[in-house]
A and B are shown apart, each in its own frame.
Chain A
Amino acid sequence: MSTEQFLGLYNYWIVIFLMMTGFYIVIARNNLVKTIIGLNIFQISVILLYVSMGKISGGTAPIVPPSMVSHGHADVPHVAHADNHADARPHDLHSDETKDLAHDHQDDHDNEHDSHAAQESRGTAEDHKETDSPDALVNHPVSDSDHHAADSAHDEQLTYSNPLPSVLMLTAIVVGIATTALALALIVRIREDYGTIEEDEILEMDRAA
């Protein structure tokens, strides 16, 4: 394994490190709360594993791209909001990748409009895709035809990360929270009955009883 490969898999190394750390804490700690923390770290490593496997390098979030949505939304007033930058990030990432420097400035400017439109219409994104007729394209307010061409080129090249592992992990997180809550509730009861949460002391008391 070359160094490059080794570094390229860095998220898996983190997963293994976290997994072993969590596992070690579960085995080695006597304090019950610390054991549960170890268990949590162990579960989180699995969440990281799933999210890593769903990510495609250069892939964006699986949301209809802003440029595509804006075609069907010609009537939305184009007001630039500074705080929309966060939403525009996937698009930015992509334009970096295509290294279309000539349109960089305009892209950035347009992103702000687009993302604003996307924000307003995300709930009905499906509909817009369907109504994305050639007429709507003609009505697109951006008159710069070059820029338009570059935009559609973006759409064709868009790669999405796989959303399914992330969705599965939402379920796993819920399960993890439920487990932690139950475990902590049990620890509260153990504390009430024994007056300690150190496992060796509890076992000692049981043996004496």
Chain B
Amino acid sequence: MIDIYSQLPILLIAIPLFAAPVCVLLGGRWLTYLLSVVVCGTTFAISIGLMQQVIKYGPIHYEIGNWKPPYGIEYVVDGLSGFVMMFVSALAAIVLLYGKPSIDAEIPRSKHYLFYASYLLCMTGLLGMCITGDLFNVFVFLEISSLSSYALISLGRTRRAPLAALQYLILGTIGATFFLIGIGLLYQMTGTLNMSDIANRLDTETGPRTLLVAFGFMTVGLFVKMAVFPLHSWLPNAYTYAPSVVTAFVAATATKVSVYAFIRLVFGIFKPEFAFEQMPLGTLLLTLSLVGIFIASTAAIFQDDVKRLLAYSSIAQIGYMLLGIGMATTDSLTAGIVHMFNHALIKGGLFMVVGCFVLRLGSSRLSDWRGAAKTMPLTSLAWAIGGLGLIGVPMTAGFVSKWLLLTSAFESNHQLVAGMMLVSSLLAVVYVWRVVETLYFSEQPSAAAKEASEAPVWMLVPMYAVIFAVLVFGVWTQFSAGLAAEAAQSLLPLDLVPTAPTVSPGGTP
């Protein structure tokens, strides 16, 4: 008798992985949709089950095929990976639940089953990157998720979609190959691929120069996948021309999982002392993210396409997560991890709002959205609430992470960073307000907006579930900030730079 609970880690990956080819074999539109929803729901349930086990009994180590690590591949669920997997699978499920009318409208009917198969594969890849404890396996899952997301993006309606997907493919492959070079160099130094084993064997104090090369390659590779400022050029086009459902899913999850992989790399494999004291990672991250936040937020203000506006905003928001990592204190790392979660909710929710507008107005151009608040009041309200979250207004999830980030910046004597963060939030006010103004206060509604009707209930309910979650996690921080604090504590038990004694990071701000 096999205890099903002990097999949950492999089921989390195996179920969606095998469901994808089943989708292709089944064909049809309804059957594959139902199967995908059921699979995503099951995956979400499994990730909750795993997280519960982690909270109760500590990290889970699962040996695939009973091959002992470091020889076999090991799956590890700990506070951080469990947390990331939970919100990735949650958003995958809820976006799919929401997306049926939008998928029907934007993707040719003959390609639906392929769409669901790619969607499931993409989710598998993202979850796999989180759960695996084997470095080469991270590369394989990274490519699974990337390849399927290129295919998903190319399904967009306009002829620019395949070009956007190809540009993403070229940059993404270069990024992944850089990561692969880094893995190879690490293997050359240690003779193992298991992450914890590498961490034990790697002599970061007196190691050879290869260490620097490996670290550099892997960092740059992940920077491309995260769309950190100078390497972000693939992101705006990919998000703009992809189908709305794909944008909502990819924007909410893909870059965050890469941030997760980066946190694992810096704190789990290379030691933070190496990354921040021997290497200038802290300065690099702070500089890049601050410059990125300002440039991307400014670019967002001048966009006419709302999808593109949100895409630039995503680049800026990645900057906040990296700020948290770059300041390298336990509190700031907590803030960075919480922001991953909060931003996944907020950006997922906002792109779902865009999907509703695109369905009813037929365009994501701001000029077509004029005065839509009269005919689509519920959808417009959802934008307003989600937008407040993006700015970081109190009582929304965005406030929690920005507050944590701000306090940790002051504690670690990064006053300049804190000041620039506050100023940059004003830029977010501007671009969110531009859309709100167009929706509510336009004197001449566009032709499409006059005739539009409210989005179908089917889409509104899941969308409001996410928007509601933005409010819930803005007040109830025990779950998000509490779990993130525990994860940060296990990654970085002691601050590198001595700081003044502080309030507990998990508390309500």
- Bound-complex Cα distance A5 to B165 (A): 44
Q: Min CB distance, B416 to chain A, in Å?
A: 35
CB pair A193 B177 closer than 8 Å: no
Contact of A202 among B136, B151, B163 (CB under 8 A): B163
In-complex Cβ contact of B184 among A35, A50, A194, A202 (8 A): A50
B160 touches A186 (CB 8 A): no
Near A by CB (< 8 A), chain B positions 172-201 give 173-174, 177, 180-181, 184, 187-188
B147 sits at the interface (CB 8 A): yes
Residue among B150, B162, B180 making CB contact with A189, cutoff 8 Å:
B162
User: Is A57 located at the chain interface by the 8 A CB criterion?
Assistant: no
Q: Are B170 and A175 closer than 8 Å at their CB atoms?
A: no
Are B162 and A193 in contact, with the CB atoms below 8 A? Answer: yes
B401: chain A residues at CB < 8 Å are none
Given A26-B170, A39-B174, A193-B159, A182-B180 contact (CB < 8 Å): no
Interface centre among B150, B177, B187, B188 (most CB of A within 10 A): B177
The answer to whether the Cβ of A64 comes within 8 Å of any Cβ in the partner chain is no
Interchain Cβ contacts within 8 Å, total number: 67
Whether A187 and B166, one on each chain, are in contact in the complex, defined by CB atoms closer than 8 angstroms, is yes
Q: Is A206 part of the contact surface with B, judged by Cβ < 8 Å?
A: yes
A90 interface hit (Cβ, 8 Å): no
| Contact A43-B173, Cβ < 8 Å, known A168-B136, A171-B140 | yes
Given contacts A186-B154, A186-B165, are A46 and B184 in contact (CB under 8 A)? yes
B151 partner residues in chain A, CB cutoff 8 A? 182
Are B150 and A182 in touch, CB under 8 angstroms? yes
Nearest A residue to B165, CB-CB: A186
Judging by beta carbons under 8 Å apart, are B166 and A186 in contact?
Answer: yes
B106 within 8 A of A: no
Contact bitstring A31-52, B, C-beta under 8 A = 1, else 0? 0100110010011001001100
Query: At the interface, yes or no: A53 with Cβ under 8 Å from chain B?
Result: yes
* Interface contact A53-B187, CB-CB below 8 Å: yes
Q: With both chains docked as a complex, state the minimum distance between the C-beta of A38 and any C-beta of chain B, in angstroms.
A: 9
B187 touches A165 (CB 8 A): yes
Q: Which residues of A contact B163 (CB under 8 A)?
A: 186, 190, 202, 206
- Please indicate the chain B residues that have their CB under 8 angstroms from the CB of A46 in the complex: 177, 180-181, 184
Q: Which residue of A lies closest to B191 (CB)?
A: A162
A183 touching B169, Cβ below 8 Å: yes
Report whether B140 and A179 are in contact in the complex, using a CB–CB cutoff of 8 Å.
Answer: no
Confirm or deny: B368 has a beta carbon within 8 angstroms of a beta carbon on chain A: no
Task: Please state if A206 and B181 are interface contacts (CB–CB under 8 Å).
Answer: no
Q: Would A165 and B184 count as touching, CB distance under 8 A? A: yes
Find chain A residues with CB under 8 A from B173 CB: 39, 43, 179
B143 CB–A CB distance under 8 Å: yes
Per-position 1/0 for B257-279, Cβ under 8 A of A: 00000000000000000000000
| Extra inter-chain contacts (11) besides given A178-B143, A182-B150, A183-B169, CB under 8 Å | A23-B174, A39-B174, A46-B177, A49-B184, A171-B136, A172-B180, A175-B140, A179-B143, A183-B166, A190-B159, A206-B160
> 7 A-B residue contacts at CB 8 Å?
A39-B174, A43-B173, A50-B184, A53-B188, A171-B140, A178-B147, A179-B169
